[in-house]
């Protein structure tokens, strides 16, 4: 069953792929949908009433498909091109005042850290990070975040699944803590969207920024931002354009659109969103979101157990992973890049992470046990030739 389903992903036919957390391989159906949509737009337009009548419902159908992954109303979804764009919308759109506090975890992506640094510079906002990384194997991240909140913490920014270690945070508890402190919560969902079964209404987060090109295996250039209806009242558009506006009878700006579209700017690549909608539909051919997540966890645990048996290899997490990311270190960290290059020479794709220095493996429900066996054997072979007791 899985072998047949995998045959829809051409990139998996000639390599062993462990980089879903960077970019997922697109299914053929998604690539075909993009090509067909682009060709049809050119045939009927690309600019004209007939083209617009076709494009507008395609965008809304893609918005609905994205909303279904998150179990939210489509009016809460802003179409963006990636996670970082969504984070920029949420972080820059708040009414910052000098002396406000912005709290990050210490495992955030450099792009998000850079946004926080520039907000600090421009608005005299105090930006700090809390040591949530210390809780990977012991301790409670909710307690750490609670201890680092201040009365003037306007925004907390953290990842649902940490991109470097794969740690999964209890967002429902963190959200509750933030609400009690009157702090808004922005979640970087780069490594959770398409992995975890999600219900953002239940989690009660304010902002959730995600992308379609990683675990959902859509094209690069498509993503989104969920904005809770209550949080929308705090968030003004920063980048502004026709797509987010209500126009008066003279075609002049009169107000913002009342939903997630207010943060959209102008012309988007509609065929790419058609491709993402098709990718979502193809994943749904293989069980439910819970089924796929369970398969990911089963395969991650299988890989983790195999790695823990290797000499010279130390997994960052000392218990089975709760996501699709499995990170490990060699006893000699200086050999990490060399190992990744060796694996790629064997048509096995992985990646290094700088902080903490490690190698990150992304395990999807599409990953085969036989591929994990080949990966582990290749790592063992490398260690045998480059590391000695």
Question: How far is the C-alpha of 305 from the C-alpha of 290, rounded, in Å?
Answer: 22
pLDDT digits (tens, 9 = 90+) for 93-106: 999 999 999 999 99
The answer on pLDDT for 204 being more than 60 is yes
pLDDT-based confidence at residue 176 (cuts at 50, 70, 90): very high
Cα–Cα dist 289/215, whole Å: 12
Residues 6+ apart with CB under 8 A from 3: 368
CB count within 10 Å of CB 106 equals: 16
Structure tokens that stand for 210 in this block = 């995600």
For the chain, percent of residues with pLDDT exceeding 90: 98
Assigned token pair, 174:
């963190």
Residue partners of 14: CB distance under 8 A and separation at least 6: 347
Retrieve residue 339's tokens.
Answer: 């190992």
Calculate the dihedral angle through the C-alpha atoms of 349, 352, 358, 363, rounding to the nearest 10 degrees. -40
The tokens of 131 are what? 């040591």
Residue 290 predicted with pLDDT over 70 = yes
Over 80: is that where the pLDDT of 389 sits?
no
H or E stretch at 142: helix 141-148
Over residues 43-52, the mean pLDDT reads 96
Q: What is the pLDDT of residues 134-174, one digit of tens each?
A: 999 999 999 999 999 999 999 999 999 999 999 999 999 99
- The residue-averaged pLDDT of 282-286 equals 98
CA 43 to chain centre: 34
SS3 361: strand
Q: Domains, the chain, ranges and CATH?
A: 32-283 (3.40.640.10), 287-386 (3.90.1150.10)
Give the pLDDT confidence score for residue 387 in this predicted structure: 85
């Amino acid at each position: 069953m899985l072998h047949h389903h995998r045959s829809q992903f051409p990139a998996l036919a000639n390599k062993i792929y462990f980089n879903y957390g960077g970019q997922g391989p697109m299914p053929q159906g998604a690539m075909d949908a993009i090509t067909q949509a682009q060709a049809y737009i050119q045939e009927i337009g690309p600019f004209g009433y007939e083209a617009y009548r076709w494009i507008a419902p395609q965008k809304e159908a893609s918005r609905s498909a994205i909303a279904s992954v998150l179990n939210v109303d489509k009016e809460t979804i802003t179409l963006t091109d990636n996670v970082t764009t969504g984070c920029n919308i949420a972080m820059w759109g708040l009414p910052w005042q000098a002396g406000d506090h912005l709290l990050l975890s210490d495992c955030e992506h450099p792009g998000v850290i850079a946004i926080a640094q520039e907000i600090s510079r421009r608005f005299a906002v105090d930006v700090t990070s809390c040591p949530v990384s210390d809780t990977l194997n012991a301790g409670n991240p909710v307690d750490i975040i609670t201890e680092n909140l201040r009365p003037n913490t306007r925004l907390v920014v953290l990842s649902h699944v940490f991109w470097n270690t794969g740690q999964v945070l209890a967002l429902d508890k963190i959200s509750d803590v933030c609400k009690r402190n009157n702090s808004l919560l922005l979640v970087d969902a780069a490594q959770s969207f398409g992995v975890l079964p999600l219900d953002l209404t239940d989690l009660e987060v304010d902002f959730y920024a995600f992308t379609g090109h990683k675990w959902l295996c859509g094209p690069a250039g498509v993503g989104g931002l969920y904005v809770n209806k209550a949080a929308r009242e705090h968030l003004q558009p920063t980048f502004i354009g026709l797509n987010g506006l209500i126009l008066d009878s003279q075609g002049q700006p009169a107000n913002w659109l009342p939903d997630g579209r207010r943060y959209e700017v102008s012309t988007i690549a509609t065929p790419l969103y058609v491709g993402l909608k098709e990718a979502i539909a193809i994943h749904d051919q293989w069980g439910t979101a819970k089924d796929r997540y369970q398969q990911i966890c089963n395969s991650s645990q299988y890989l983790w157990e195999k790695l823990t048996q290797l000499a010279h290899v130390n997994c960052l997490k000392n218990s089975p992973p709760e996501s699709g990311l499995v990170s490990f270190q060699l006893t000699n960290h200086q050999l990490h890049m060399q190992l990744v290059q060796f694996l790629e020479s064997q048509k096995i794709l992985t990646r290094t992470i700088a902080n903490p220095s490690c190698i990150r493996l992304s395990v999807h429900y599409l990953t085969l046990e036989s591929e994990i066996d080949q990966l582990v054997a290749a790592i063992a072979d490398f260690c045998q030739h480059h590391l000695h007791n």
